[in-house]
Amino acid sequence: MIEVLYFAWVRERIGIPRERIETGAATVADLVEELKAREDRYAAAFADLRALRVALDQELADFSAPLAGAREVAFFPPMTGG
Amino acid sequence: MIEVLYFAWVRERIGIPRERIETGAATVADLVEELKAREDRYAAAFADLRALRVALDQELADFSAPLAGAREVAFFPPMTGG
Amino acid sequence: MDIRVQPDPFDYGAESARFAQGDGQSGAVVTFLGLVRGTGGLSRMEIEHYPGMTERALAAIAGDASARWPLSDVLIIHRFGTLAPGDPIMMVATASRHRQAAFEAAEFLMDYLKSRAPFWKKEFGPDGAEWVAAKDDDETALARW
Amino acid sequence: MDIRVQPDPFDYGAESARFAQGDGQSGAVVTFLGLVRGTGGLSRMEIEHYPGMTERALAAIAGDASARWPLSDVLIIHRFGTLAPGDPIMMVATASRHRQAAFEAAEFLMDYLKSRAPFWKKEFGPDGAEWVAAKDDDETALARW
């Protein structure tokens, strides 16, 4: 089980801020493929990975990063604070 | 007649903050030579021109600048504001 | 080091004054204040963030700055939630013996905060709502450090 | 544009707050504050300046900054006379739509003010009084602009 969080327009497209997912995905990219296959709203949110960033356990990570051991994965657009 | 002003340690060495001087000096450098010839305190203040800056009518100038038309000349060390 | 992530407004003048009290050894204080611009008929801004990760990211950025420059103090305040035009969004402050260190550290904090702290701005105007797009400039700004 | 040369202390927090009020269009405000350092047993500092030339030099520097960067406002306050450790010596503030412009203009103001505005500092400590020497760094800092 992994906690999956969505922020900004990713959250809006998927329609929920977070969910717990049972997955056997080896990497973040594999998890994204699983989610895209689920429903159109996921496919829409993950259509262009270059427009997305990912954090594993609250640290920025690559889509190629392994999921093993991670408690929390978050998807969001590039940050716009400041 | 020209108004001559001294600041910081130049003022302290010469002993006065300002004086009016009757001079026929063509340039700032000529005026400095006149002053040095007057008294030791001037010679001490003007011993090393590289340690001094000059302003003509309140604008930074070179020692080679002509004095003609200037109302006010000021001598001081490099600035240390801020 | 003082890092605050909060929905409430902050008093920029009072925070600046308190920060500058310091320890009497610093000599140089630089602050940056970001305000909501009222351009384009903007009626409000909403800032979303990632609780937990935000505080970690800001602490890491402030720690990096303190390791690179001789800073006696660092302050970061960043708001989230609903903001109106003219409202303060965030501020950073740095204190050092050297003015160049204080300036560089403040710019470093801003550059990293922009691209590495998980905040997202949404603007509400006459044509509806829009998520602010990150600028390529913001990412390339990191290359200078 | 607001330029003040004065013997009296100024309230850095209040000045910063007032400056940041602005016109709601700026978005980015940078301030620099210089304080008297209490290092080396310093008991007081005296700042001499050249009345008349000081105001002209500061106005010229602020004008140059406004010509180079899109600034909506500039503030310079510089004290003269007797100052104690921890006292504010001077501050500059810049406001712009762009953070980079506000930062660069503030650094430009400081670099030029240091080397081109006629102020001289004298420090009084346990070993007597000494005029502060200008740093070669201060002159070379101008080369980057």
DSSP H helical segments within chain A, as ranges? 8-14, 28-38, 40-45
In order of their start, the domains of chain C are: 2-143 (3.90.1170.40)
CB contact under 8 A, B58 and D53: yes
CB contact under 8 A, C20 and D38: no
What pLDDT shows up at residue C25?
Answer: 76
More confident residue, D140 or C76: C76
Confidence of residue B30 (pLDDT cuts 50, 70, 90): very high
Backbone phi, psi, residue C64, to 5°: -60, -45
Is B24 within a domain? Answer: yes
C19 neighbors C100 (Cβ within 8 angstroms): no
Burial annotation A72-82 (CB, 10 A radius, 16+ → b, else e): ebbbbbbbbbb
Confidence of residue C139 (pLDDT cuts 50, 70, 90): confident
State which amino acid sits at residue C45.
Answer: M
Is B82 within a domain? Answer: no
Confidence of residue C138 (pLDDT cuts 50, 70, 90): confident
* SS3 assignment for D82-123: EECCCCEEEEEEEEECCHHHHHHHHHHHHHHHHHHCCEEEEE
More confident residue, D96 or D22: D96
Confidence of residue D26 (pLDDT cuts 50, 70, 90): confident
Question: Which pairing describes strands B72-76 and B2-6: parallel, antiparallel, or unpaired?
Answer: parallel
What six digits make up the tokens of D49?
């300046």
> Closest Cα of chain B to D86: distance in Å?
15
What six digits make up the tokens of A68?
């093993």
Around Cβ B44, how many Cβ atoms within 10 Å? 12
Is A81 within a domain? Answer: no
**Which sign, positive or negative, has the C-alpha torsion D138, D139, D140, D145?**
positive
Average pLDDT over residues D75-93: 97
D68 pLDDT above the threshold of 90: yes
Burial annotation B24-37 (CB, 10 A radius, 16+ → b, else e): ebebbbbbbeebbe
What pLDDT shows up at residue C45?
Answer: 97
Which residues of A touch chain C, with CB atoms under 8 Å apart? 5, 7-9, 11, 55, 58-60, 74, 76-82
| Chains in contact with A, counting 3 or more C-beta pairs less than 8 Å apart as contact | C
Q: How far is CA B35 from the centre of its chain?
A: 9
Average pLDDT over residues C8-18: 97
Confidence of residue C141 (pLDDT cuts 50, 70, 90): confident
pLDDT per residue over C25-52, tens digit each? 789 999 999 999 988 889 999 999 999 9
Q: How far, in Å, CA of B20 to CA of B18, rounded?
A: 7
Proportion of chain C above pLDDT 70, given as a percent: 99
CATH number of the domain that residue B57 is part of: 3.10.20.30
Is A31 within a domain? Answer: yes
Residues of D whose CB is below 8 A from B8:
48, 120, 122, 131
Residues of A whose CB is below 8 A from C131:
8-9, 77, 80
- Give helix C12-21 / helix D12-21 axis angle, nearest 10°: 150
D119 neighbors D49 (Cβ within 8 angstroms): yes
**What pTM was computed for the model?**
0.95
Q: How far, in Å, CA of B30 to CA of B36, rounded?
A: 10
Q: What is the mean pLDDT of chain B?
A: 97
D46 neighbors D114 (Cβ within 8 angstroms): no
The number of distinct structural domains making up chain B is 1
Q: What is the mean pLDDT of chain D?
A: 95
> Which helix (H) or strand (E) is D137 found in, with range?
helix D136-140
Of B9, B11, B79, the CB nearest to D118: B79
Please count the helices (runs of H) and the strands (runs of E) in chain C. Answer: 4, 8
Domain interval for residue A6? 2-76
Average pLDDT over residues A18-43: 97
pLDDT per residue over C79-131, tens digit each? 999 999 999 999 999 999 999 999 999 999 999 999 999 999 999 999 999 99
What pLDDT shows up at residue A72?
Answer: 98
Report the residue count for chain D.
145
C115 neighbors C60 (Cβ within 8 angstroms): no
What pLDDT shows up at residue B28?
Answer: 98
> Closest Cα of chain D to C37: distance in Å?
5
pLDDT per residue over B42-81, tens digit each? 999 999 999 999 999 999 999 999 999 999 999 999 999 9
pLDDT per residue over D121-133, tens digit each? 999 999 999 999 9
CB contact under 8 A, A79 and C134: yes
Is B6 within a domain? Answer: yes
Which residues of B touch chain D, with CB atoms under 8 Å apart? 5, 7-9, 11, 55, 58-60, 74, 76-82
Residues 6+ away with beta carbon under 8 Å from C65: C71, C74, C94, C105, C108, C109
What pLDDT shows up at residue C39?
Answer: 83
CB contact under 8 A, D103 and C103: yes
Q: How far, in Å, CA of D89 to CA of D18, rounded?
A: 19
CB contact under 8 A, D50 and B58: yes
* Cα distances (angstroms) measured from residue D143 to each of A59, A67, B58, C83, D118: 40, 51, 23, 41, 19
Confidence of residue D120 (pLDDT cuts 50, 70, 90): very high
What pLDDT shows up at residue A69?
Answer: 93
- Give helix D99-116 / helix D53-68 axis angle, nearest 10°: 150
Sheet containing D81-83: give its strands across.
D81-83, D44-49, D119-125, D128-131
Of C24, C28, C32, the CB nearest to D99: C32
Confidence of residue D23 (pLDDT cuts 50, 70, 90): low
Q: Do the chains B and D touch each other, judged by at least 3 C-beta pairs below 8 angstroms?
A: yes
Residues of A whose CB is below 8 A from C88:
none
What pLDDT shows up at residue D138?
Answer: 82
C46 neighbors C63 (Cβ within 8 angstroms): no
